[in-house]
Amino acid sequence: MTEYTCDDFESSLLSFEKLDRASPDLWPEQLPGVAEFAASCKNPITNSPPKWMAELESEDIEMLKELGSLTTANLMEKVKGLQNLAYQLGLEESREMTRGKFLNILERPKK
């Protein structure tokens, strides 16, 4: 039985194979857009806000802060409320469209 020293054992585990990580076929991007996001994060920090924040008003920023401070359960409750509101608006729009159809409001003028 041969005896291995710790150094012999560790050196036997080394691999000298060179992998070409530049190939997109060998190393595809697992999450699309992550590379661009990571590159944008490497830019030095500036005092100017990001492009997407430039068009936000103070009310929008306050809403983002409010939503960001919610717990998961509260956020889910907020989402459910928005879904219910969207459903109610859809029903109301359907009623108004039906009403407009019966009143002939939506007909095109005859030439």
pLDDT tens across 21-75, in order? 665 555 566 667 777 777 777 665 666 777 777 788 889 999 999 999 999 999 9
DSSP reduced 3-state for 109: coil
Question: How far is the C-alpha of 87 from the C-alpha of 83, rounded, in Å?
Answer: 6
pLDDT value for 92:
96
DSSP string of 48-87?
Answer: SPPHHHHT--HHHHHHHHHHHHS-HHHHHHHHHHHHHHHH
pLDDT value for 15:
75
pTM above 0.75, yes or no: no
pLDDT above 80 for 2: no
Structural tokens at position 72? 């998961």
Q: What is the average per-residue pLDDT within 85-96?
A: 95
